[in-house]
Amino acid sequence: MSFLVTWIVLAALWIGLSGYLDVVHLTFGFCSVTLVSALTHKFMTGGRNVGEGLTALVRLFLYVPWLLWQVFLANIDVLLRVFGFREVDPCVIRFTPDLHTDFGKVTLANSITLTPGTVTVDLEGDEFIVHAISREAADAVLKGAMERKAKSIEGEGASDA
């Protein structure tokens, strides 16, 4: 069942993004969507039942606008630091987030790296090593707002599946 739901979601996405509805494109699209669905349906549903997997996917789509806003705010902060209005005080921090799935950890690591002024340098076991342009940026990572958002994507009772 999770394969079928994954296939439908990806097919709708493919049709929406490609805009081609002729036989050749639909044939290639069908083959591509089938192959990608076969390879990713467990990832998209997180090994959970279909409803939980779709709920996680919706949470991910709701997370993106929030992340884009954080990227915008961090760009302003970096801009102010580059022009000398704020101090550049680089530091490296280590912390262990309360995330239980690889997907949650990857989401957090990529979100930190996408946000200007911070870079996820390494992930040793469950411990994140992050370089930040300033103590304020490091403190923002340690406050855990991004971690809580990543945890919400994991959902209740998430585990590595």
pTM over 0.75: no
CATH class of the domain whose range is 63-161: alpha beta
- 47: confidence class by pLDDT, cuts 50, 70, 90: low
Q: What is the rounded distance in angstroms from the CA atom of residue 104 to the CA atom of residue 136?
A: 24
DSSP-assigned letters across all residues of 48-112 = S-HHHHHHHHHHHHHHHHHHHHHHHHHHHHHHHHHTTSS----EEEEE-----SHHHHHHHHHHH
Distances (CA, A) of 108 to 85, 121, 147, 151, 152: 29, 12, 6, 9, 11
Residue 134: phi and psi, rounded to 5, are -155, 165
User: What mean pLDDT do residues 23-28 have?
Assistant: 93
- 159: confidence class by pLDDT, cuts 50, 70, 90: very low
Angle formed at CA 52 by CA 50 and CA 56, multiple of 5 degrees: 115
Map residue 128 onto helix, strand or coil. strand
The answer to whether the Cα torsion of 146, 148, 149, 150 is positive or negative is positive
Residue 103: its pLDDT value, please?
81
Say yes or no to pLDDT of 160 above 60: no
Say which residue the tokens 């996820």 belong to. 120
The tokens for 25 are: 């494109």
**Distance from the first to the final alpha carbon of the chain:** 17
